[in-house]
Amino acid sequence: MTDITSIRDYDTLLNSIDSLWTIAREKAITAVNAELLDANWDTGRYIVEFEQDGHARAEYGKRLLITLSRDLTSRQGKGFSRSNLTYMRKLYIAFPKRETLSHKLTWSHYFELLKCEDMMEMQFYYNEAINQRWKVRELKRQIKSSLFHRLALSTDKEGVISLAHHGQQIMSAQDILHDPYVLEFTGFPPKKQYKEHDLEQALKDNMEQFLLELGRGFAFVGRQYTIPIGSRLFKVDLVFYHCILKCYVLIDLKRDEIGHNDIGQMNLYLNYFKTEICQPDDNPPIGIVLGAKKDELLMEYALQGINNQLFVARYQLYLPRREELQARLDSLLCEECQKERDSE
């Protein structure tokens, strides 16, 4: 008897049906997520409208969500804890117009977004989660690493507002920089003694998380990229290609403070790449010297007169304190407002 799997075109039949059901399941999951999100939004709307009708005065307002949680759980089962109802209410308040609610994100995404205390911060993560198709765990990590604050601190007031409303816009080398880069995923305790090789290996072993920290557009090219010049061999720690900026990005790691000689070395690498590696349709390469510390004044003098796109930045092995970054951002915005008033 002939084996049915050996018949010509059987694989085509199998793949067609397999693809059909994969797509159907994805559509079903998307539809369920959309219905769930809409139901949560409507629940929040009912609660807010009930409160606005004067039913949430002090004498019983505090007990509304507790009572609702008990009664809805009795009728509908799980999913109606006081915490969930609180976030459904927050969802409606944050997105009062249903059409502004994107179904590209799940309720789990919104649950994390609504933990943001600042509306500009939440709007930034909302846009980035959609634009970069972040999974929930990726969104949680970016919020924990205070990505919005780190990017906002490198710009001005208009840049902060643009960041919140449009997400991260990548148009130049400056737009891909973070300071500091947060590398908590390497698992190194902050005071642990380690070598540059160990850090490099940890980044390679956790490349998915490192690419998430670097941001949109990065593609990994190689590690310890060899550069032969004359009779000598040099090696760049990490090389990437940026698909949006259309250029190579070279990263050199420094365990301690960045020195002026590190700038000269990276400049050498960039000159080599421009001459020997880049194709005619590539833009000039970008170099980032990444160290645990940097002296701002020393770096200012070391970078003067360099025509290449060469930058220095710090990294840290632990998540930043959001409160400190918020205080710095508030100070930055206050300074910008004062400058505007002084110029009037």
Residue 4 lies in a domain: no
Backbone angles phi, psi at 248, to 5 degrees: -80, 145
Q: Is the pLDDT of residue 36 over 60?
A: yes
User: Which distant-in-sequence residues (6+ apart) come within 8 Å of 122 by Cβ?
Assistant: 94, 113, 114, 116
Long-range interactions of 275-281: CB distance < 8 A, separation 24+? 277/248, 278/247, 278/248, 281/246
Q: Indicate whether 189 and 312 sit together in one domain.
A: yes
Could you give the CA distance from residue 208 to residue 200 in angstroms, rounded to a whole number?
A: 14
Least confident piece of the model among 111-125, 285-299, 318-332: 318-332
> Under DSSP, is residue 182 helix (H, G, I), strand (E, B) or coil?
strand
DSSP 245: T
pLDDT of residue 58: 47
Among 63, 72, 314, 9, smallest CA distance to 177 is for 314
Q: Indicate whether 89 and 185 sit together in one domain.
A: no
Least confident piece of the model among 86-95, 139-148, 166-175, 299-308: 166-175
pTM of the model: 0.75
Q: Is the pLDDT of residue 240 over 60?
A: yes
Q: How far is CA 310 from CA 110, 263, 271, in A?
A: 38, 8, 11
Q: Domain tally for the chain?
A: 2
Q: What is the rounded average pLDDT for all residues in the chain? A: 88
Q: What is the average per-residue pLDDT within 239-266?
A: 95
Q: Which of 73, 93, 113 is the last residue of a domain?
A: 93
Could you give the CA distance from residue 149 to residue 141 in angstroms, rounded to a whole number?
A: 14
Residue 116 lies in a domain: no
Structural domain boundaries, residue 73: 57-93
Q: Are 143 and 123 in contact (CB under 8 A)?
A: no
